[in-house]
Structure 1
């Protein structure tokens, strides 16, 4: 091969790499712009305020109506003017945080899910959650925001473990007439899952309450006491 031919070959490879870099740069800019729009969105701001209020039920809940009113008027919760995320000096690239917090994961779980792994939202014991996390992305539901979490995470399945509805757990006494707040939370979960066409399933591996299996589940799966759903079980239950 002559020197001229080698130079032309290298120039062709260089132009090809330049085109690939320009395409990657364009995609990266689009992705960062979408992320910046999400961070500036009203849904994320409201979600952060709700999560902050839930962490501080006293002062947080008292200040929540005021903060939401200020957000509706275009002001920041602290009293200042709400600002959009600025870009870097001399650049069109938006300035983004380097990490995603738990509040954002709850609000945008569907877009943050690991590729190729199902998303399982529900109520689990620590043992079951650890076992499920080996082959699924697990979103734990809490009674006070379970419906919102299901709506935003868009899971493949909503799974309630009966053993996690026993005394000592956040969903304790679900199925008992006295636990009306838990029943309302479950109703919110079903209402959020229905338009997504996601099944709400009871993994019946304990008997904490006689009324638990009769709460309108899409499916009740009888399991041995303390049994943990396997990957094959999830595949069968997911529609």
Structure 2
């Protein structure tokens, strides 16, 4: 069987896990807890984070969606007198590890099918590695990946291509034989800069129009990858 690539590198939030179902409710709860229930602080934090308190979801232009855990902490800390960025960052790391997960597709059988094609698999997220591993462990798939990295793993963060190239080095697979799969422009910009094939998915806030200019193909979710990766 001929394949388009020898490896797949996934983003996490909005790609392996549906963004809205996983993070929208969690975001409201985190804002409520950090504010101590103060309505004024909640409103200020929501504005800074691009979060709609009425609809209980992140706006598509939220800086938190594709940002790192540190950047999310900086957004929220700006509206929190008396709390440092470091304190908010630690809270978010621990709270994010407990977020309710909604798999974009049933991950165990999906990843097993890719592994059966002898493809190397990895995850690179702008979340922390701690939260990433916690989420993958909860989903029962951590051991199915050859590489797991967060923005704090020492390789950098998307849209920089360096963390993607670290996956290529770790697996000894040339970048042009790697597919980068993500739900944001950050993911695809990084993939293109790394010389990888790029696949956009619509399980995050971005639209097809947002992703199409940077993607070889845009799919409703990662499930479509199984048919696309095989050439015969």
If asked which structure has higher relative contact order (CA below 8 Å, sep 6+), I would say 2
TM-score by length of 2: 0.32
